[in-house]
Amino acid sequence: MFEGKIIIFSAPSGAGKTTLVKYLLAHNSDLAFSVSATTRACRPGEVHGKDYYFISKEEFEKHIANHDFVEYEEVYAGTYYGTLKSEIERIWAQNKHVIIDADVKGGLNIKKQYKERALSVFVQPPNIQILEQRLRTRNTDSEESIRKRMEKAISEITFGEKFDVVILNDNLDKACAEAQAVYERFKNQSSQYAS
């Protein structure tokens, strides 16, 4: 019988987790993305229901009251992000494993709840200067948003040891190959990562 698992990617913003998550989704048809709910504005190119469910603060609060979230965080002051229980159920019902992109706190929280059914992966940027450079090159954030993200990154960059696996994202091809190897190992024998 199929036993659905969850692979969680966390990292300071700009480390490359979206890039690695997209790589895994493109190369593994047995994996599907858990679409989070957020109150942040949609960036150009993002699609409602694919990248995120872009909802109002009121709608988000309704989900909290209904206990619809596995976890949620005010990742940046005034901006909420949360993983919906219905996403995990939807994906497992398709006989697929779940891949989640969450901040460091949220990622550890999901791991704590799902234990050996989940693998927490931390994407480590080479250093804080390169992280800032990547955020600027991505060209999606205002100066204020970059400042907020860098402020948070300075504390998050040291969190790697709390995760099951750390992937250094220096050379992208190498990091993608490592992410693929980690995923294959986990889906075939998760017990080695049990808490």
Q: In whole angstroms, how far apart are CA 8 and each of 98, 101, 115, 165, 170?
A: 8, 6, 12, 10, 20
User: What b/e readout covers 21-55, taking b as 16+ CB neighbours within 10 angstroms?
Assistant: bebbeeebeebbbbbbbbbeeeeeeeeeeebbbbb
- 3 state SS of 77: coil
> Do residues 76 and 13 make contact, with C-beta atoms less than 8 angstroms apart?
no
Among ligand ADP, ligand 5GP, none, partner that 156 touches (CB below 5 to 8 angstroms by kind): none
Q: Which helix (H) or strand (E) holds 18?
A: helix 17-27
Select the residue whose beta carbon is closest to ligand 5GP and give its number: 106
Show the binding pattern over residues 1-40: x = contacts ligand 5GP (CB under 6 A), - = does not. ------------x----------------------x---x
- Token pair 């250094």 is at which residue? 168
Q: What is the three-class DSSP state of 79?
A: strand
Mark residues 87-126: x for contact with ligand 5GP by CB under 6 A, - for none: --------------xxx--x--------------------
Cα(183)–Cα(171) distance, integer angstroms: 18
Compute the least distance from the CB of residue 190 to ligand 5GP, in Å.
Answer: 22
Q: Provide the mask over 57-76, with x wherever binding to ligand 5GP is found by CB under 6 A and - wherever it is not.
A: --------------x-x-x-
Would you say 153 and 40 are in contact if contact means Cβ atoms under 8 Å apart? Answer: no
| Residue 31 Cβ vs ligand 5GP, minimum distance, rounded to whole Å | 17
81 binds, among ligand ADP, ligand 5GP, none (CB under 5 to 8 A by kind): ligand 5GP
Q: Cβ 22 to ligand ADP, closest distance in Å?
A: 8
Q: Which residues bind ligand ADP (CB under 6 A)?
A: 11, 13-19, 134, 137-138, 169, 172, 175
Which residues of the chain form contacts with ligand 5GP (CB under 6 A)? Answer: 13, 36, 40, 71, 73, 75, 81-83, 101-103, 106
